[in-house]
C-alpha cells in the first residue's frame, strides 16, 4: 500500500495506536516489532478490541481489515512525514541534554495562548514517538512542538528527516548519554545535528546567546533569534531570583514561575523568545509561564508531614545533578537533606562523575546526604552509601527529619520517588 493511500485511510481514522492494551474503537493499529515481541501476532486482538485497521508486515497474518506493508516502523515514520507535509502547521524541533520536556511544556503553554498547538506527549521523543507526535497534528493545528531525544550521533539527524522542522532550539549541551555519544564532544556534535539541518534548509533557529557553544556554531547565520542576559544584540531577559522559584524580568514585566532552580531560567527564556517571535502579547506570555505547574517527578514541590520535598527524580546526568545540588545549596532553609541516586549511561566516566558529585555535596554542606546505587556505593565518601533501595529503606526507618527541606534526585531507573512513601 502506498503512503498517500494509507494517509487517506488515516484521515478517516486519525488515531494511531501501537499497543493493544490501549486500543480504542476506530484506531489504526501499527504492528511494531521489538526484541521480545512481534506486533503482527497481536493484530487480530487489536481488531477485536475495535481497531478500524491493522498495519502489518508479516504476510502469514494477512486478513480482513489489514494492510500489508514491507516494514511497519518505516511505514509509520513515512506516514508521519507525509502528514507533516500535508498539514499547514509550523513545526518546532526541540532537543538538548537537559530540560527538553519542561521547555517543551513551557513553549506549549505560551504559544497556546494565541495559537492552536500540539506537543509531544510525555517524553515520546524517539524514532517511534516523533512520527506519533506528527500524526497527532489536527486539521486546525497551527504550531507543533516536537521533542527529539537521542543517545548517539546521527539520531537527531534522522529525527529531523522525519519531522522536517521549520524552527528549532537546543536547550544545552551537557554530560548526558556519554557512553552512546562518545564523550562531551560527541554530545555537542550529536545535538547540533538539529541546527545543522535547519541551517542547511534555511530555517529559523532559536538560541541561548549566553551559551558560547551555540554562539560559535551559529556564527553569522541570519535566521537566528536569541535571548541574552548581557548581549544587547539579542532580546534581553533578566533573572531576578531563585529562592526557590525562578522569577525574571522581561521589558517592564515581572514573571513569577512555579519552577525551582536557576537551570530553569533558560527554559523559561526559550518559551519567551518563541512567544515574542510568534507575536504572543507579553501579558499572555506571562500568563502562560505562570500557569505552568511541573509534574511527573520533574522539580515538583511537595509538602508532606511538615517536610518540603523537591522531587526531581525523573532523570539525572552529571550536568543536571550538579545544577540541582548547587541550586539546593542556595535555597534559604533550615535542615537540608539530600538523596542522590545513580546516574546511568556514563560508560567509562561513571566512577569519575559520581565521585565529583559526592565531592560537591560535601563541599556545599548539607545536614544529611544519602548516596544510593551501585555507582555511588563505589565512591570515596563519608556519607551513607546504600547499594540498593532496600538498604536505604532500612536507614530511613531510624532517621528523624524535623521540618526539613529535601531534594530527591536520580536517574529514572532508580525510581527514587519511592522515598515519598517512607517519609
pLDDT by residue (tens digit) across 255-265?
A: 999 998 888 99
15 is a domain residue: yes
**Residues 96 and 224 occupy one common structural domain:** yes
Domain at 283, CATH number: 3.40.1190.10
198-202, 324-328, 411-415: range with highest mean pLDDT: 198-202
| 395 inside domain | yes
CA distance 197 to 199: 6
Residues 6 or more apart whose CB falls under 8 angstroms from that of 225 comprise: 204, 205, 206, 207, 235, 273, 277
* pLDDT of amino acid 332: 79
C-alpha dist (Å) from residue 188 to 23, 177, 197, 212, 422: 39, 11, 14, 12, 40
Residue 78's contacts (CB-CB under 8 Å, 6 or more residues apart) are 3
Residue 222 and residue 106 in one domain: yes
Grid coordinates representing 245 are: 522559584
Structural domains of the chain, count: 3
Q: Give the CATH number of the domain where residue 22 resides.
A: 3.40.1390.10
**Percent of all residues in the chain with a pLDDT value above 70, rounded to a whole number:** 97
- Closest by CA position to 148, among listed 174, 178, 119, 175: 119
Given 270, 291, 312, which residue is the final one in a domain?
291
Q: Do residues 133 and 264 share a domain?
A: yes
**CA–CA separation, 221 vs 207, rounded Å?**
11
Q: Are residues 116 and 232 in the same domain?
A: yes
Looking at 246, 265, 291, the residue that finishes a domain is 291
* Crossing angle of the two packed helices 100-111 and 265-277, in degrees rounded to 10: 40
* DSSP structure class, residue 27: P
405, 337 contact by CB (below 8 A)? yes
pLDDT for position 179: 66
For residue 78, being part of any structural domain is answered with no
Do 237 and 326 lie in one domain? The reply is no
Q: Are residues 263 and 144 in the same domain?
A: yes
Whether 255 and 353 map to the same domain: the answer is: no
Q: Please, which pLDDT band fits residue 180 given cuts at 50, 70 and 90?
A: low
Round to whole Å and give the CA distance between 161 and 26: 29
Say how far apart CA 59 and CA 340 lie, in whole Å: 50
Q: Which of 65-74, 153-162, 194-203, 258-267 has the weakest average pLDDT?
A: 258-267
Inform me whether the pLDDT recorded for 35 exceeds 90.
no
**3-state secondary structure at position 285:** helix
Grid cell at residue 256: 513569577
Set of cell numbers at residue 21: 492494551
Q: Does residue 271 contact residue 236 with C-beta atoms inside 8 Å?
A: no
Indicate the pTM of the whole model: 0.84
> Which of 76-85, 242-251, 272-281 shows the lowest per-residue confidence on average (mean pLDDT)?
242-251
> CATH number of the domain that 351 lies in?
3.90.190.20
pLDDT of residue 175: 65
Q: Rounded mean pLDDT of 211-228? A: 94
- Categorize the per-residue pLDDT at 176 as very low, low, confident or very high, splitting at 50, 70 and 90: low
Three-class DSSP category at 26: coil
Is residue 245 in some structural domain?
yes
Give the number of other Cβ atoms within 10 Å of residue 384's Cβ: 14
363-396 pLDDT per residue, tens: 998 989 999 999 999 999 999 999 999 999 888 8
User: 381 and 263: one domain?
Assistant: no
> What HEC string does 56-124 produce?
ECCHHHCCCCEEECCCHHHHHHHHHHHHHHHCCCEEEEEECCCCHHHHHHHHHHHHCCCCCEEECCCCC
pLDDT value of position 177: 62
Which domain, by its residues, includes 29?
A: 3-70
Burial 62-77 (b: 16+ CB within 10 A, else e): eeeebbbbeebbebbb
pLDDT at 31: 96
Q: Please list the residues that pair with 94 across neighbouring strands.
A: 147, 169
Residue at 81 is within a domain: no
Is 31 part of a structural domain of the chain? yes
Mean pLDDT of the chain: 92
| Cα 282 off chain centre by | 25
Cα separation, 248 vs 226, in Å, equals 16
Residue 77 included in any domain: no
Q: Residue 354 CA to chain centroid, in angstroms?
A: 23
Rounded-to-integer distance, Cα 67 and Cα 30, Å: 10
- 129 and 253 assigned to the same domain: yes
Are residues 268 and 325 both part of a single domain? no
**Neighbouring residues of 311: CB distance < 8 A, sequence distance ≥ 6:** 297, 299, 300, 301, 302, 408, 417, 420
* Alpha-carbon span 239 to 104, nearest angstrom: 20
Query: Among 87-91, 212-216, 327-331, which stretch is predicted with the lowest mean pLDDT?
Result: 327-331
In a domain, 80, yes or no: no
Domain boundary among 291, 314, 335: 291
Q: How far apart are CA 321 and CA 408, in angstroms?
A: 10
Q: Are residues 104 and 236 in the same domain?
A: yes
Position 388 scores a pLDDT of 93
Q: Could you tell me if 46 and 17 are in contact, meaning their C-beta atoms sit under 8 angstroms apart?
A: yes
Cα–Cα dist 354/281, whole Å = 44
Q: pLDDT value at position 6? A: 97
Specify whether 14 is located in the same domain as 112: no
Amino acid at each position: 500500500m502506498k503512503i498517500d493511500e494509507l494517509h487517506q485511510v488515516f484521515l478517516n481514522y486519525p488515531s494511531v495506536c501501537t499497543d493493544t492494551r490501549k486500543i480504542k474503537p476506530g484506531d489504526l493499529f501499527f504492528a511494531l516489532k521489538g526484541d521480545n515481541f512481534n506486533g503482527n501476532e497481536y493484530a487480530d486482538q487489536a481488531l477485536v478490541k475495535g481497531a478500524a485497521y491493522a498495519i502489518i508486515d508479516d504476510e502469514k497474518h494477512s486478513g480482513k481489515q489489514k494492510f500489508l506493508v514491507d516494514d511497519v516502523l518505516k511505514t509509520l515514520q513515512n506516514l508521519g512525514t507525509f502528514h507533516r507535509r500535508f498539514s499547514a502547521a509550523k513545526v518546532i524541533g526541540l532537543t538538548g541534554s537537559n530540560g527538553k520536556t519542561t521547555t517543551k511544556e513551557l513553549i506549549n503553554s505560551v504559544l497556546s495562548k494565541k495559537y492552536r498547538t500540539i506537543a509531544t506527549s510525555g517524553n515520546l521523543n524517539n524514532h517511534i514517538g516523533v512520527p506519533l507526535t506528527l500524526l497527532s497534528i489536527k486539521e486546525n493545528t497551527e504550531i507543533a512542538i516536537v521533542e527529539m531525544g537521542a543517545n548517539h550521533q546521527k539520531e537527531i539527524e534522522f529525527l529531523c528527516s522525519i519531522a522536517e522542522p521549520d524552527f528549532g532550539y537546543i536547550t544545552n549541551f551537557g554530560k548526558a548519554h556519554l557512553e552512546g555519544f562518545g564523550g562531551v564532544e560527541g554530545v555537542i556534535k550529536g545535538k547540533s545535528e538539529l541546527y545543522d539541518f535547519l541551517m542547511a534548509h534555511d530555517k529559523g533557529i532559536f538560541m541561548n546567546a549566553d551559551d558560547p557553544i551555540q554562539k560559535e556554531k551559529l556564527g553569522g547565520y541570519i535566521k537566528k533569534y536569541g535571548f541574552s542576559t548581557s548581549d544587547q544584540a539579542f532580546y534581553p531577559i533578566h533573572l531576578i531570583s531563585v529562592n526557590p522559584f525562578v522569577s525574571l524580568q522581561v521589558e517592564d514585566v515581572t514573571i513569577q514561575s512555579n519552577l525551582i532552580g536557576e537551570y530553569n531560567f533558560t527554559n523559561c527564556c526559550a518559551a519567551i523568545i518563541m512567544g515574542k517571535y510568534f507575536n504572543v502579547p507579553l501579558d499572555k506570555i506571562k500568563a502562560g509561564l505562570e500557569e505552568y505547574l511541573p509534574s511527573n517527578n520533574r522539580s515538583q514541590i511537595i509538602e508532606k508531614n511538615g517536610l518540603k520535598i523537591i522531587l526531581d527524580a525523573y532523570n539525572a546526568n552529571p550536568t543536571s545533578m550538579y545544577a540541582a545540588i548547587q541550586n539546593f545549596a542556595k535555597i534559604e532553609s533550615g535542615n537540608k537533606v539530600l538523596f542522590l541516586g545513580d546516574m546511568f549511561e556514563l560508560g567509562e566516566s561513571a566512577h569519575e562523575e559520581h565521585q565529583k558529585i559526592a565531592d560537591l555535596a560535601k563541599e556545599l554542606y548539607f545536614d544529611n546526604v544519602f548516596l544510593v546505587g551501585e555507582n555511588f556505593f563505589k565512591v570515596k565518601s563519608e556519607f551513607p552509601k546504600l547499594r540498593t533501595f532496600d538498604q536505604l529503606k532500612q536507614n530511613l526507618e531510624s532517621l528523624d527529619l524535623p521540618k526539613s527541606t529535601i531534594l530527591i534526585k536520580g536517574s529514572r531507573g532508580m525510581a527514587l520517588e519511592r522515598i515519598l512513601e517512607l517519609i
